[in-house]
Amino acid sequence: MFRLDESLGFLLNRAAIAMRWALEERLVRYGLTAPQWAILARLWEEDGQSPSVMGKSLHFDKPTATGIIDRLEQKVLVKKTRDPEDRRVIRVYLTGKGRELQKHLPQFASEVNQMAFRGMKNRDIKFLKAHLRKIWDNFRM
């Protein structure tokens, strides 16, 4: 008999929601959401990306990515500029204030990951991550 509580999709979703809540509890003092944090994290990795590239990498549709970036721009954490080589392309850059957050916010993600992995051995964490990547790859083919 099918039991929802034993479904991989249900378990993954519940774990992801719990992790997002834990991250957002930490971000609230900065007035940020988890999706806003994700956009900032992508820009910390490589500043000046286009909204479409960031959106695809984070699995946000175009309107979602644009809305998140607009809210970050209102908070003066990012600025949008036209690409000088192709005026049709918009690039998103961190402001000084957005770069400053890199000193504080990544620690929150580390804390949430530590909570999630509590009681697990390093080899089990590596095993879990490898298998989650494999599951993801199975659906991206």
CATH code for the domain in which residue 50 is found: 1.10.10.10
Same domain, yes or no, for 37 and 89? yes
| Amino acid, res. 101 | L
Computed from CA positions of residues 38, 63, 72, 78, in that sequence, does the dihedral angle turn out positive or negative? positive
**Kind plus residue range of the DSSP H or E element containing 77:** none
Residue with tokens 């000088």: 84
Same domain, yes or no, for 25 and 39? no
pLDDT value for 86: 87
CA distance 104 to 126: 26
Same domain, yes or no, for 54 and 6? no
Same domain, yes or no, for 40 and 87? yes
Same domain, yes or no, for 42 and 81? yes
Same domain, yes or no, for 67 and 40? yes
pLDDT in tens, the chain (141 residues): 889 999 999 999 999 999 999 999 999 999 999 999 999 999 999 999 999 999 999 999 989 999 999 999 999 999 999 988 888 899 999 999 999 999 999 999 999 999 999 999 999 999 999 999 999 999 987
Same domain, yes or no, for 2 and 39? no
Same domain, yes or no, for 109 and 135? yes
**Residue numbers of the domain that contains 91:** 32-95
pTM above 0.95, yes or no: no
Q: Is residue 9 a contact partner of residue 17, using CB atoms and an 8 Å limit?
A: no
pLDDT value for 2: 87
